Structures are given as structure tokens and as C-alpha cells.
Chain A
Amino acid sequence: MMLDAYLPRILEVLLGIVMLAMALAAVRLLRGPTRADRAIAMDVLVIAAVAGVALMAWRVDAVALLDVAVAVAMVTFISAVALAWYLERRGKP
């Protein structure tokens, strides 16, 4: 089929779009006026990284790389909760 020949190229383009999204989230992470902005930007950055790892696993056809996506997805929640806890304890936004 035609699609199978072009599949690696298509996946590389999708990985490029994910990297563009990560760059936009990184801009908000650097600029963000409040600490909560930086925390939520970090969250989106890691979520986009999970999607990128999943696409990379498909590109190289390796199930083992999906384990990385599972682990990173589970660490994200801990970091979001820890950041929110830290933000609530500090005074200024």
C-alpha cells in the first residue's frame, strides 16, 4: 500500500509538530508572569514529551519505548501535585 512507504516521513513530520508545540510551551515557561503559569507550562511540556515518545516508539517500531511514555506520564502527576503544593505554601503568585 502507498501509506506504508510514506509512514516514516509522516511520523517524522508529526514529531516536528510536537517539537513545535514543546517550543511554544517553553516560551510560556520562560515568560510566564506568575509561578502558576510556569507550572502549567511545565505540565504541557511533559505531556507533549509523552506524545513525542509514543510517536518515536511507532517510528522505530519498538514496544519497549512505550514503557518510557508510561513512566513519564506517571511522574507528571507527582510533579504537578508537588508544584501546586509548593505554590499554595508560598505567598505571592
Chain B
Amino acid sequence: MMVVALALAVFGVLMILLAAVGLLRLPDVYMRCHAAGKAATLGVCCVMLGAAAGIGGGGSLVRALLTVVFLFVTIPVGAQLIARAALRNGARPHPKTRLEKTDEIS
């Protein structure tokens, strides 16, 4: 049990580090929203479940599940809202991006 919890926590922490590296290294704001919206969600949910399993007991599991459900819904929505705001403000994508339908989106 403790091994599973620790494996979840290690995987989640590495995913959060990956999201931060992507935030720093990716070339434009849309790719950064992509890194923040997916890797960070998976990472924080794994860390919460791992911590709840490590502490043990029903109360911690309920809190962790509440947080996981809420974060799975809200973090991608927030990242998408910020990317849409950047698009409507005319932030330029990376020059190698293949633009196809951005005019219809905005």
C-alpha cells in the first residue's frame, strides 16, 4: 500500500516538474497553456491521491477525491480560457505553427 502511494506521489511530482519545464521552454503562449493544462493536472491529482493513500483513513480519501474531481474539471478550463484571451488579444503563435482555422475560432 505504501509503495503504491509513494509511486503515485513520485510520478505526480515528476509530472509537475515536467509542466514547469514545459512552461519555461516552450516557445509561445498556446504551447505553454498546453503544458500547464495537461501535465500539471495529472501531476497534482496523482500527488493528492498518493498523499491520501499514504495518510490513510476515510477523511483524507474523501478530501483527495473532492480535490481531484474539482481540479480535473477546472484546470483545463482555466488554461483554455487564458489561451482564448491571448488569442483574442492577438498574441502571435510561433512562426512554425500551421494556422488553419484560427480565424473561425476567434
Q: Which residues of A contact B (CB under 8 A)?
A: 1, 3-4, 7, 10-11, 14, 17-18, 20-22, 24-25, 27-28, 34-37, 39-41, 43-44, 47-48, 50-51, 54-55, 57-58, 61-63, 66-67, 69-70, 73-74, 76-77, 80-81, 83-85, 87-88, 90-93
Chain A residues with CB under 8 Å of B85's CB are: 36, 39, 84-85, 87-88
- Interface residues of B, dominant DSSP: helix
User: How far in angstroms is the closest Cβ of chain B from A69?
Assistant: 6
B90, A21: Cβ atoms under 8 Å?
no
Q: Across the interface, name the chain A residue whose C-beta is closest to B34.
A: A40
Listed in ascending order, the chain B residues whose CB lies under 8 Å from chain A are 2-3, 6, 9-10, 12-14, 16-17, 19-21, 23-24, 29, 32-33, 36, 40-41, 43-44, 47-48, 50-52, 54-55, 57, 59-60, 63-64, 66-67, 70-71, 74-75, 77-79, 81-86, 88-91
Q: Which 10 residue pairs are nearest across A and B when measured between Cβ atoms?
A: A80-B78, A36-B86, A84-B81, A21-B20, A87-B85, A77-B74, A24-B20, A54-B51, A93-B89, A51-B47
